[in-house]
Structure 1
């Protein structure tokens, strides 16, 4: 089955994008025998000039699905493939959606009809939490589900307060489930694993790498109907998620800010680009009524 081949490729070290390139290079790869797949991989790698791919190709030939499944079970990590019934229908629409999602928690949350991404600066001030305390009671009434990363600052506040207000909560990792960063978000993550959902597109022991976080951001916007920015500086990583949201045709919301406040300068710049300024909960919930 395709899902097991995806598992092997990812465990061997291939990235999601490389797997898409591979299946474009050889459309029959997934249906081929193990021997044929190894031959196709060797041929594919020759055209890529990538040493890491050669290593992944050699690793693939040594892997067995049963061992991968057993390792996942020991790590208490489950998985679904892109064609699974519980895979997010919105996420499936983005460019190069993850072929496998690894998860802990309630996978059914992934297909909530009203998911809102909430993100912002790692250096968020008390204004982020004040704003979310104001918005979340209405979000609970309208049955919104909150998704964010597990970075410190605004992301952490978004998830921590979502749990406090008993909102359905999804966290997305930029590394494997058997790793964690930063330390201060670990307790919140553990609670989400129990009461919500934690997902990653990376195998469980994948290390923390800087370039994984922009890739993670495309998933935050990808599974959401819209993305709310609480606080963002003029030049910040938040802009990556905004760009992903716009590319994916998602609504972008920004908390209103003062023109002299550097922590909301990014918000106002996003508003100039067409983001919707949020003054009250209804500025968001009205847009979600058709999906609830």
Structure 2
């Protein structure tokens, strides 16, 4: 009997993870609602007496802390990148009944008031604070990682205005803020003008000072001198493998890697001599993290 037990553990672990992944998805999609432990236990179809222990065992943090991190992560993103949203609206979407209670709790977590964070975000502190949230979501992403649907398409030649982030990816948020401000001044809203990223390097494999990432918007306006350093470039027409990613940015590689590891060897296709392109269809925090959608274009030889 003892020799047989290890054979069954992976199956049991997968079953638990499937049930608790439903809980993660429910939390992320309903951050403004009450998230009672008993309701979450029912979603997992798990004993209410032991639900909290099993959640912590699977994800490395308690469900209450996960809920707090998920709420404040979205609030921080809205404060940093959506200046048109009031603190009251952000507080309500974070499950707080008043901006005062939200501000007090936010400052306790971040060491900055919401208004201070909106002005000058402390990205280092935020990265450390939200790492357990990202780690937990990686666990659910790996569980669901499958071969994505791949299409071969022709990416059209596209002229884009670009802000290039060159340096530590931890501070790409500052570049995003400058790019958003420039787009607003030139009336280039995302629902009318497509948003792209050109991924020159993988942050997991590149020294921080060598990381390079382009923020782009499709436009034909004349680019004059500007303090943000915006320049124009043309993405050439490319034959690409296209896959759709749905979920937060930190799980993008879980969609990309199977294309290189499985699809290319199976089809005989090879990667071309141009960086990966992201076409942003919907973005967190405008939508909840599990619903953020990106079309990934991998150039082919």
TM-score (norm: length of structure 2): 0.26
Larger Rg: 2
Greater strand percent: which structure?
A: 2
